């Protein structure tokens, strides 16, 4: 079953009863709705006048639901995840932490190759020349010591948005749309890593001491081109120079349900990420040598 993403952008009172999330909107009609908690994957709290009970928070975390809070600019700023997402949590974390440096370098090499390949496919579907990226795939070394990822990114963004474009936290278009989509993707990956019993902070490449989601940032890399493609096809993208519109947020929130191809089969992105994180743990445990990532195919 595909898990649902709930987005609250209006004042509301959120509570629970009989394993149901109870939504009471703070409007004149005091509209009340209910949603089974077991159906949820992500809950986004955007409005600053949302009240949520601690019992509901407890149930959401027990069901491994990622809870995202937004700041005053309506951009994702924080995330709640359960401490215990897997029955073998301690053993799996120990296995993750014991992974050797050569293994992590090999896994990062695989990750970068998949990311560049998916970027190349995006360019192909846009009718742009992708030969440079195809060549870079074969140049990726263990640990990507020659920084093929960075070279590919420079070429990729230049082809899509022009040579003057810079990826940043800029609240203007298209960075605002990309940042929002990546935040949703990051929450899906972090949730799945926790469910697979791994510690999202301990990455295979990213290791910023201020980053609580280094491993999530590693594993989401080959999935970023799916966000890029979604952003390129948002309604009124060229007219929304001041940032995100409500309609664009609605489209970006469909990301977890986006069909992607992984292991030769079509799966919703939400489920594909679970396949990826499960395969990552098997690599840590020595049960297989390859991470399963999706192939971009618009």
Give the pLDDT confidence score for residue 229 in this predicted structure.
97
Check residue 3 and give its pLDDT.
82
Q: List, for residues 152-196, the tens digit of each pLDDT value.
A: 999 999 999 998 899 988 888 899 999 999 999 999 999 899 888
- Determine the average pLDDT of the residues in 30-45: 91
Query: Cis peptide leading into 188, omega within 30 of 0?
Result: no
Whose tokens are 């230049």? That residue is 158
Low-confidence winner among 33-42, 60-69, 74-83, 253-262 (lowest mean pLDDT): 74-83
pLDDT at residue 87 tops 70 = no
- pLDDT reported for residue 258: 94
CATH architecture group of domain 4-80: Ribosomal Protein L15; Chain: K; domain 2 (3.100)
Q: CATH class for domain 89-284?
A: mainly alpha
Q: What is the pLDDT of residues 267-286, one digit of tens each?
A: 999 999 999 999 999 999 99
- pLDDT value at 63 more than 70: yes
Question: Where does the pLDDT of residue 106 fall: very low under 50, low under 70, confident under 90, or very high at 90 and above?
Answer: very high
CB 190 within 8 A of CB 79: yes
How many other CB atoms are there within 10 angstroms of residue 119's CB atom?
Answer: 27
Kindly tell me if the per-residue pLDDT of 1 is higher than 80: no
> How confident is the prediction for the chain on average, in pLDDT?
91
Residue 83 pLDDT greater than 90, yes or no: no
66 beta partners? 42
User: What pLDDT, on a 0 to 100 scale, did the predictor assign at position 222?
Assistant: 98
Domain residue limits, the chain:
4-80, 89-284
pTM of the model: 0.89
143 pLDDT above the threshold of 70: yes
pLDDT for 159: 96
> Residue written as tokens 């594909």?
272
Q: Region 13-25: what's the mean pLDDT?
A: 95
DSSP letter for each residue of the chain: -PPEEEEE-S-EEEEEETTEEEEEE-STT--EEEEEGGGEEEEEE--TTEEE-HHHHHHHHHTT-EEEEE-TTSSEEEEE--S--STTHHHHHHHHHT--HHHHHHHHHHHHHHHHHHHHHHHHHTT---HHHHHHHTTPPGGGTT-HHHHHHHHHHHHHH-TT---SS-SSTTHHHHHHHHHHHHHHHHHHHHHTT--TTS-SS---TT-TTHHHHHHTGGGHHHHHHHHHT-TTGGG-TTS--HHHHHHHTTGGG-EEEETTEEEEHHHHHHHHHHHHHHHHTTS-S----PBP--
Tens-digit pLDDT profile for residues 208-250 = 877 888 999 999 999 999 999 999 999 888 766 667 888 999 9
Give the pLDDT confidence score for residue 189 in this predicted structure: 94
Distance CA 12, CA 28 (A): 12
Q: Is the pLDDT of residue 148 over 90?
A: yes
**pLDDT of the residue at 84:** 65
Which residues are CB-neighbours of 77 under 8 A, at least 6 positions away? 69, 70, 71
Q: Quick one: 138 exposed, middle or buried, by C-beta within 10 A (0-12, 13-18, 19+)? A: exposed
- Supply 213's token pair: 């989601």
User: Do the first three CATH levels of 4-80 and 89-284 match, i.e. the same topology?
Assistant: no
Which helix (H) or strand (E) covers residue 21, if one does?
strand 20-25
Backbone φ, ψ for residue 128 (5° rounding)? -100, 155
């Amino acid at each position: 079953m595909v898990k649902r993403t709930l987005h609250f952008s209006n004042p509301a009172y959120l509570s629970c009863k009989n394993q149901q999330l109870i939504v009471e909107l703070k409007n004149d009609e005091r509209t009340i709705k209910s949603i089974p908690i077991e159906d949820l994957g992500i809950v986004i709290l955007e409005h600053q006048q949302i009240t949520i009970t601690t019992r509901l928070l407890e149930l959401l975390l027990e069901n491994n639901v990622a809870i995202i809070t937004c700041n005053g600019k309506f951009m994702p700023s924080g995330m709640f995840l359960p401490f215990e997402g897997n029955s073998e949590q301690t053993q799996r974390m120990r296995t993750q932490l014991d992974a050797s440096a050569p293994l992590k370098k090999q896994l990062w090499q695989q990750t970068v190759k998949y990311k560049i390949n998916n970027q190349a496919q995006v360019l192909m579907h846009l009718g742009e020349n992708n030969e440079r990226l195809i060549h870079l795939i074969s140049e990726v070394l263990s640990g990507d010591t020659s920084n093929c990822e960075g070279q590919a990114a420079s070429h990729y963004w230049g082809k899509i948005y022009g040579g003057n474009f810079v990826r940043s936290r800029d609240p203007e278009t298209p960075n605002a749309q990309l940042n929002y989509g990546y935040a949703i993707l990051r929450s899906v990956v972090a949730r799945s890593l926790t469910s697979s019993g791994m510690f999202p902070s301990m990455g295979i490449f990213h290791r910023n001491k201020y980053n609580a989601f280094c491993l999530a940032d590693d594993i989401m890399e080959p999935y970023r081109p799916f966000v890029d493609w979604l952003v390129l096809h948002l309604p009124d993208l060229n007219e929304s120079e001041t940032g995100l519109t409500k309609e664009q947020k609605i489209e970006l929130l469909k990301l977890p349900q986006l069909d992607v191809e992984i292991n030769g089969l079509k799966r919703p992105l939400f489920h594909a990420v679970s396949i990826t994180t499960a395969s990552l743990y098997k690599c840590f445990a020595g049960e297989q040598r390859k991470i399963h990532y999706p192939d971009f195919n618009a």
